[in-house]
Amino acid sequence: MGTTLATALLEALAQAGAREVFGIPGDFALPFFDALESSGRLPLYTLSHEPSVGFAADAAARIRCAPSVAAVTYGAGAFNVVNAVASAFAEKSPVVVISGAPGTRERGSGLLLHHQAKTLDSQYEMFRQVTCDQARLDDPATAGARIARVLASARRYAQPVYLELPRDCLGEPCAPVWAEPAPPVDEEALAACAEEILARLAQAKSPVLMVDVEVRRFGLEAQVAKLAKRLAIPVVTTLMGRGLLDNADAPLVGTYLGLAGTPEVSALVEDSDALLMLGVILSDTNFGVSARRVDLRRAIQALDGRVTLGFHTYADMPLDRVVAALLARAQPLAQARAVAPVAAPRGLAADEGAIEPLDISRALNDLMDARGRMPVATDVGDCLFTAMDLVQTDHVAPGYYATMGFGVPAGLGVQAASGRRPVILVGDGAFQMTGLELGHCARHGWDPIVVVMNNGGWGMLSAFRPEARYNALGTWNLARVADALGGAGHLVRTRAELAKALATAHANPGRFHLLDVRLAPGALSPTLRRFTDAVSRLHG
Which pLDDT score is estimated for 18? 98
Helices (H), ranges, 393-446: 407-418, 428-434, 441-444
Which pLDDT score is estimated for 358? 97
CA-CA distance, 13 to 159, in Å (whole number)? Answer: 15
Which pLDDT score is estimated for 111? 62
Which pLDDT score is estimated for 312? 92
Which pLDDT score is estimated for 259? 81
Q: Is the separation of the CB atoms in 322 and 306 below 8 Å?
A: no
Other C-beta atoms lying within 10 Å of the C-beta of residue 328: 9
Which tens digit of pLDDT belongs to each residue from 295-342? 888 899 999 999 999 889 999 999 999 999 999 999 998 877 778 888
pTM for this prediction: 0.95
Q: Is the separation of the CB atoms in 33 and 71 below 8 Å?
A: yes
Strand partners, 166: 101
CA-CA distance, 176 to 365, in Å (whole number)? Answer: 49
CA-CA distance, 330 to 334, in Å (whole number)? Answer: 12
Which tens digit of pLDDT belongs to each residue from 96-127? 999 999 888 777 776 667 787 888 899 999 99
Which pLDDT score is estimated for 32? 96
Which pLDDT score is estimated for 292? 62
CA-CA distance, 463 to 458, in Å (whole number)? Answer: 9
CA distances from 46 to 35, 138, 439, 446, 512 (A): 15, 26, 11, 13, 17
Ranges under pLDDT 70 in the chain: 1-2, 110-112, 288-292, 460, 462-464, 472, 538-540
Other C-beta atoms lying within 10 Å of the C-beta of residue 204: 19
Which pLDDT score is estimated for 1? 46
Which pLDDT score is estimated for 290? 64
